[in-house]
Structure 1
Amino acid sequence: MTQKTIMLACDAGMSTSLLVNKMKKVAKEKNLDYKIFATPVSHADSYLEKEEINLVLLGPQVRYMLKDMKAIFDPKGIPVEVIPMTDYGMMNAKNVLALAESLL
């Protein structure tokens, strides 16, 4: 299996970094080869030139940008989805990773 890259985009990338670390731990426990990182949503499109992105997950605080982000990533075949508020707030990495897996 080739490595998949999951980008989490939020307002500033701070709180999402906690979720990223938890998701990495869960992925490792499941022997999943995922590269997971966080970035501010304002920098998300710049990663198209730097990384092979397979999925973009938006923090619920930037859900209003879903349409704009889909306009950028959908033409490249990269799914974009909003992380459910409850899972984000509870830092439920298992649920967020399950969402990611369903979209990959």
Structure 2
Amino acid sequence: MNDVKILLCCGAGMSSGFMAQKARKAAKKRGINVTVEAKSETEAAGFLPTVDILLLGPHYESHKGKFVEMAKPFNVPVDVIPQRIYGTLDGDKLLDFALETIEASTNK
């Protein structure tokens, strides 16, 4: 897989910032070339043309439809990070979740 660009989004970008840091460390350990950025809800739309996936914090599950519509013109898959991953700040599992979601969206 080529360079992968993952965008995480939560309300202000704070908790997703910690999650992004953990995912970057996990990718580095695995030798995977991944960029993981965390942005606030208001910033996320501006980054959609340049990312491979948008992952939302679990508390944004009710807003997923809005983000799916925003991402559609850019063919960017959108999903909600499971609470079991987000709540434990598990960078390895987040990385797996992101890569599996990207793979599933390209095989449609």
TM-score, L = length of structure 2: 0.88
**Residue 58 (str. 1) matches residue 88 (str. 2):** no
**Residue 13 (str. 1) matches residue 13 (str. 2):** yes
The runs of 5 or more residues in structure 1 that have no matched partner are none
- 1:48 offset after TM fit, Å? 3.3
Deviations 1:18-58 (A, max 9, x none): 11111000001111111101001121111135xx1100000
Task: Look up the match of 2:33.
Answer: 33
Taking the aligned partners of 2:101 and 2:84, their CA distance within structure 1 comes to 19
- 1:98 offset after TM fit, Å? 0.6
Taking the aligned partners of 1:56 and 1:82, their CA distance within structure 2 comes to 9
Instruction: Please provide the CA RMSD for this pair.
Output: 1.2
Give, as a single letter, the amino acid of the residue that structure 2 aligns with 1:3: D
Give, as a single letter, the amino acid of the residue that structure 1 aligns with 2:43: H
- 1:64 offset after TM fit, Å? 1.3
- 1:62 offset after TM fit, Å? 1.3
For the Cα contact (< 8 Å) 1:22–1:93, is it kept in 2?
yes
Identity rate of aligned residues, in percent?
Answer: 28
The runs of 5 or more residues in structure 2 that have no matched partner are 103-108
For the Cα contact (< 8 Å) 2:48–2:76, is it kept in 1?
no
Taking the aligned partners of 1:11 and 1:29, their CA distance within structure 2 comes to 29
For the Cα contact (< 8 Å) 1:58–1:82, is it kept in 2?
yes
